[in-house]
């Protein structure tokens, strides 16, 4: 009997030792970044470089300098970045074995991504996971992209073997996309491929079971790359200073805007570069100015550039720099998009103005006359336009100094 209980006691001690040791190991496996720098430099982590089964949190700007594998571990990029810089070696990302990766910042890898064997990746809203190679989603793995989140694939995308992907944001593929073997891509988002999208062997993409060829191809909400521009306008506020205003309804993978100018309408030069929102599904408004040399006419256009260097150029607008003593701009007077404020940069003497507002088919919906005060900036409130339908309207301002027309979009 004594021998029996001694054996039980010894077994209990061994179990407790393993339990306590396991707890210590678990605590040691938790690490987070403490400074910017290379991923594989232990000094940049609170408890050393994370193993593939560790719990790791990135809150700094980390440079990827080796392949990363998450196998049973849990990695979170939270308010930080993990970027594989161009020009060197291209590293790959693997998530498997119930491993979990949460992208709540931005991550970039130059090589392939493999998500397999019950691995899971979550891309949070308005954050981006960019892969320079191919992406393989397979073996009952799970990909979730929240609204405004982006998976950007420079190579091809293959979704296989009962993978379940919920995409409320965007997937953009520079190559081809294949969805097969009972893999399902669902949600309220969008997938866009420059090549074909092949759906076969009981695969499904946003309820579609037949593929698209030739490319480019798109399924889902239709809110793909890169931006949805609401309006762009530019005007002179002095003989050498131009003010530009624009807004976007959505932005995906948008790195920066460039205001460009030309004196002949053909040869354009950079006037100013403006950092963009990156990813956004709400209306974003921008207002910037830049200076040009004295010229009677300047053409101004907006250029949008993605994170990968691809760009889109919008049509220019003509800006009179000399010979016009009044320029005007429109702004939201009460913050509701219905009540407008007309601001006139007039001469210092008072002047008489006629204002007319037309809808998109040329019907006059408002007309009035007023006299500005002796001020270089005169504000004239336009009455509530909410009784009119949403859409494009043209506002014409007339005086002895000339006539100008601006476009306004009533939301």
pLDDT of residue 374: 63
According to the model, what pLDDT value does residue 251 have? 79
Q: What is the pLDDT of residue 14?
A: 41
**Residue 234 pLDDT:** 84
Q: Quick one: pLDDT at residue 328?
A: 66
pLDDT at 20 over 60: no
Mean pLDDT, residues 166-185 taken together: 93
Give CA angle at 184 (203, 96), nearest 5°: 115
- DSSP designation for 375: S
Rounded Cα distance between 50 and 31, Å, is 7
- H/E segment holding residue 22: helix 2-28
The dihedral formed by the CA atoms of 191, 197, 200 and 205, expressed in degrees to the nearest 10: 10
Nearest to 63 by CA among 89, 32, 36, 102: 36
Please check whether residues 46 and 111 belong to one and the same domain: yes
Q: How many whole angstroms separate alpha carbon 140 and alpha carbon 181?
A: 11
> Model confidence over 203-249: pLDDT tens digits?
999 999 999 999 889 999 765 556 778 778 887 777 788 888 888 87
- pLDDT above 90 covers a percentage of the chain that reads 41
Contact 278, 242 (CB under 8 A): no
Q: Which among 304, 322, 340 is the end of a domain?
A: 322
Q: How many domains does the chain have?
A: 4
289 shares a domain with 194: no
Domain stops at, among 220, 253, 285: 220
> Beta strand pairing status for 170-173 and 150-153?
parallel
Which range (12-21, 54-63, 193-202, 220-229) has the least confidence? 12-21
Six-digit token string for 408: 């306004």
Q: How far is CA 401 from the centre of its chain?
A: 43
pLDDT tens-digit map of 281-304: 677 889 898 988 777 888 899 998
Tell me the C-alpha distance between 168 and 213, whole Å. Answer: 24
pTM, to two decimals? 0.61
Examine the pLDDT at 47 and tell me if it is beyond 60: yes
**What is the average pLDDT score of the chain?**
82
Structure confidence at residue 18 as a pLDDT band (50, 70, 90): very low
- The CB density around residue 168, as the number of other CB atoms within 10 Å, is 20
Find the domain containing 243 and state its range.
Answer: 227-322
- Mean pLDDT score, 100-117: 94
Is residue 5 very low, low, confident or very high in pLDDT (cuts 50, 70, 90)? very low
**CA nearest to 343, candidates 395, 297, 286:** 395
Quick: pLDDT tens for 139-164: 989 999 998 888 999 999 999 988 98
Residue 256 and residue 171 in one domain: no
Three-state DSSP state, 238: coil
Same domain, 105 and 143: yes
Q: 272 and 201 in one domain? A: no
The tens digit of pLDDT for each residue in 313-331 reads 888 888 877 544 455 666 6
């Amino acid at each position: 009997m004594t021998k029996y209980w001694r054996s039980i006691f010894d077994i209990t001690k061994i179990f407790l030792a393993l339990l306590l040791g396991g707890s210590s190991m678990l605590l040691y496996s938790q690490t987070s970044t403490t400074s910017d720098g290379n991923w594989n430099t232990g000094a940049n982590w609170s408890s050393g470089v994370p193993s593939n089964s560790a719990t790791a949190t990135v809150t700094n700007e980390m440079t990827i300098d080796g392949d990363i594998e998450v196998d049973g571990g849990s990695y979170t990029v939270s308010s930080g970045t993990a970027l594989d810089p161009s020009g060197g070696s291209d590293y790959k990302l693997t998530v498997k074995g119930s491993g979990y990766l949460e992208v709540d910042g931005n991550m970039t890898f130059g090589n392939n991504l493999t998500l397999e064997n019950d691995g899971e990746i979550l891309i949070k809203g308005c954050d981006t996971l960019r892969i320079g190679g191919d992406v393989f989603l397979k073996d009952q793995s799970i990909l979730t992209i929240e609204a405004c989140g982006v998976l950007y694939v420079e190579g091809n995308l293959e979704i296989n073997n009962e993978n379940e992907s919920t995409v409320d944001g965007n997937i953009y593929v520079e190559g081809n996309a294949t969805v097969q073997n009972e893999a399902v891509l669902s949600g309220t988002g969008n997938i866009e491929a420059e090549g074909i999208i092949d759906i076969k062997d009981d695969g499904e993409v946003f309820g579609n079971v037949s593929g698209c060829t030739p490319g480019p191809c798109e399924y889902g909400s239709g809110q793909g790359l890169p931006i949805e521009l609401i309006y762009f306008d530019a005007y002179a506020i002095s003989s050498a200073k131009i003010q530009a205003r624009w807004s976007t309804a959505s932005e995906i993978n948008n790195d920066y805007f460039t205001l460009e100018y030309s004196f002949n309408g053909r040869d354009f030069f950079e006037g100013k570069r403006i950092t963009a929102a990156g990813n956004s599904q709400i209306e974003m408004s921008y207002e910037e100015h830049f200076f040009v040399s004295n010229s009677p006419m300047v053409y101004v256009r907006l250029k949008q550039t993605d994170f990968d260097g691809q760009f889109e150029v919008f049509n220019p607008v003509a800006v009179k720099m000399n010979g016009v003593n009044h320029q005007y701009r429109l702004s939201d007077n009460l913050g509701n998009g219905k009540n407008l404020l007309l601001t006139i940069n007039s001469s210092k003497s008072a002047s008489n103005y006629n204002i007319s507002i037309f809808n998109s088919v040329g019907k006059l919906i408002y007309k009035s006359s007023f006299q500005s005060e002796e001020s270089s900036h005169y504000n004239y409130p336009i009455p509530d336009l909410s009784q009119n339908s949403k859409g494009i309207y043209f506002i014409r301002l007339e005086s002895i100094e000339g006539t100008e027309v601006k476009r306004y979009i009533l939301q």
